[in-house]
Amino acid sequence: MNRKISFAEGEYYHVYSRGVEKRKIFLDGKDRERFQALLFLCNGSKPVVYRLIQGSTLYQTDVGEKIVAVGAYAFMPNHIHILVKEISENGITEFMRKVNTAYSMYFNKKYERVGPLFQGTFAAEHVTRDEHLKYLFAYIHLNIVKLIEPKWKEEGIKDLKKARGYLEAYPFSSYSSYTGKVRKEDTILSKNEFPKYFSHQHDFKDFVDEWLTFGPQNFDP
């Protein structure tokens, strides 16, 4: 991935942000919850003060006009993946700046540390082909399978049933928002800004399942 690319309105990008020196950026569930909330709260034209809106109504906050469209995301211990569409000028750059800055301030205060948390700003890949864009809905979500089977991409999946269950239950990705589960975090996504590849939740599950059994290393975007 390359950070030195120009973002254009109406185009799709795979955004990736890693902890400095590959360090963990999430140390507990509260950290993940905070970052996930920031994906919603930082995606708007209005300034938002997190401490004033904590609680069950957080994802109903008026953040103003969205500056990017988020199609998918997944959190790993030391990095995150986000599939986004640029819908306003400089939207992706501003969105990632707001998210990373807000989270870094929270993390450094909580863990009494100083200095950058993330490796540079962020990396991004321009997605120009339809088959690549569709593939990313599987690739991004399947990253988390490495948390239970670290070598599944190289050696194949050993426990398919367990992996499917883990994908469905993992709360810090957008996977279950595509499988029919109603979540407060659904407001993070702007599904209507992406091609309608999956007319039914079973289509999405089947598509991801194909890559789970086939192996993402076999795809060349």
Q: What is the pLDDT of residues 42-72, one digit of tens each?
A: 999 988 777 666 666 789 889 999 999 999 9
Q: What is the pLDDT of residues 56-115, one digit of tens each?
A: 678 988 999 999 999 999 999 999 999 999 999 999 999 999 999 999 999 999 999 999
Task: Give the residue from 50, 78, 81, 97 showing the smallest Cα distance to 173.
Answer: 81
Q: Is residue 142 part of a domain?
A: yes
Give the per-residue pLDDT at 96.
Answer: 96
Mean pLDDT (the chain, rounded): 92
Secondary structure of the chain: what % helix, strand, coil (to 5)?
Answer: 45, 15, 40
Instruction: Say yes or no to pLDDT of 4 above 80.
Output: no
Beta strand 123-127 with 12-18 is antiparallel
Task: State the alpha helices, DSSP H only, in 147-200.
Answer: 152-155, 160-169
pTM: 0.93
Element housing 201 (H / E): helix 201-214
Q: Is residue 6 part of a domain?
A: no
When pLDDT is cut at 50, 70 and 90, the band that residue 159 belongs to is very high
The Cα 63–Cα 202 span in angstroms is 32
Number of structural domains in the chain: 1
Q: Which of the pair, 121 or 220, is modelled with greater confidence?
A: 121
Query: What is the domain-level CATH number for residue 193?
Result: 3.30.70.1290
The pair phi, psi for residue 17, each rounded to 5°, is -135, 125
When pLDDT is cut at 50, 70 and 90, the band that residue 121 belongs to is confident
Q: Which of the pair, 3 or 124, is modelled with greater confidence?
A: 124
Q: Is residue 25 part of a domain?
A: yes
Q: In what order do the strands lie in the sheet with 123-127?
A: 68-75, 79-86, 12-18, 123-127
Task: Give the residue from 179, 122, 153, 27 showing the smallest Cα distance to 170.
Answer: 179
Q: Is residue 158 part of a domain?
A: yes
Q: Is residue 4 part of a domain?
A: no
Instruction: Say yes or no to pLDDT of 35 above 60.
Output: yes
Residue 52 lies in domain: 12-218
The Cα 145–Cα 213 span in angstroms is 12
Q: Cα–Cα–Cα angle for 37, 39, 43, nearest 5°?
A: 120
When pLDDT is cut at 50, 70 and 90, the band that residue 205 belongs to is very high
Kindly state the tokens that stand for 195: 């091609």
Q: Is residue 186 part of a domain?
A: yes
Task: Give counts: helices (H), strands (E), the chain.
Answer: 6, 4
Give the per-residue pLDDT at 215.
Answer: 64
Q: Is residue 7 part of a domain?
A: no
Query: Could you give the 3-state DSSP secondary structure of residue 13?
Result: strand
Q: Is residue 125 part of a domain?
A: yes
Give the per-residue pLDDT at 140.
Answer: 97
Q: What is the pLDDT of residues 187-202, one digit of tens each?
A: 999 999 999 999 999 9
Give the per-residue pLDDT at 57.
Answer: 79
